[in-house]
A and B are shown apart, each in its own frame.
Chain A
Amino acid sequence: MDINPKLLNEMSTYGIVDYSKVVPGEVINWNALFTLKGLILIVVGGFFVGFGTRYGEGCTSGHAISGLSNLQWPSLVATVSFMAGGFAVANFLLPVILKL
């Protein structure tokens, strides 16, 4: 898999070097579940996905793909919202979590 070198560089500062799997095995694994970092990445993250998609009535496929292809403006608002939320967490909060 061809990952942007900038991302690989950033990830190596958190001790993440294996990017061959679907999730970074160094921080997301069964043993990590009992650490604060793992708990946030695995349990809290999942809770946000479930709660948020239910509250926002849709996810990537429901809003970004189906909703936008049917020109539904509420779906555009939802898409912009979850992209904004993801942008903020990935760039500002996730680095803090991964350094725990």
Chain B
Amino acid sequence: METVIAQPSDYDVDSFEDEIIKQQPRNLVYRNLKFFLAGILFGALLIKAEVLSWFRIQEMFRFQSFHMYGIIGSAIVTGMISIFLIKRLNIKTINHEKISIRPKKFHKGYVYGGLIFGFGWAITGACPGPLFAQIGGGATVVIVTLLSAIAGTWVYGYLRDRLPH
């Protein structure tokens, strides 16, 4: 079977979009609509799948339920199929950009940072996405958790050079 290798697009997407914005400011809404829709879908999914439940996370870390493992496991299978199809059919982004997935470069932060995130996940019952969804799910105090998480990313940036990588 012959594989068709697509030519790179003949315009730069960012400058192309900037051009549109200069012409029509209201296109800013149109440009961000896809993120907005994907975000709504993601939030609704987190609520329906009960992923944002603090109790589901506690069950997961105590091996008391298959629920979270089933969700993460089926998401991995879906991801594998999607990546396979994207590569095989050379699918482009909505802006006609080529999709290329850069290989991750290992450093010690994957272990230390991973462990620290695990501590936080068990305490708050939320990873970064569900933090937003928990607020929408009615736990308004999680706004403080979210702000604290953002502060955490800042502190990382401040300490970056002094941390082992």
Residues on A lying within 8 angstroms of B by beta carbon are 1, 3-4, 6-7, 11, 19, 21-25, 28-30, 32-33, 40-57, 59-61, 63-70, 72-75, 77-91, 93-94, 97
Contacts and interface: CB of A to CB of B under 8 A. Distances in A.
Given A40-B123, A94-B123, A60 B72 contact: yes
B90 interface: no
Given A28-B139, A49-B152, A77-B114, A67 B61 contact: no
Main SS class of interface, B: helix
A29 B145 CA distance: 11
A36 to B, nearest CB: 13
B50 A1 contact: yes
Q: Chain B: interface residue count, which band?
A: 35 or more
A23 B121 CA distance: 13
Interface in B110-132: 110-129, 131
In the A-B complex, list the 5 residue pairs whose CB atoms are closest, starting with the nearest.
Answer: A85-B118, A56-B113, A50-B152, A81-B114, A69-B79
Chain A CB within 10 Å — which of B77, B133, B151 has the most?
B151
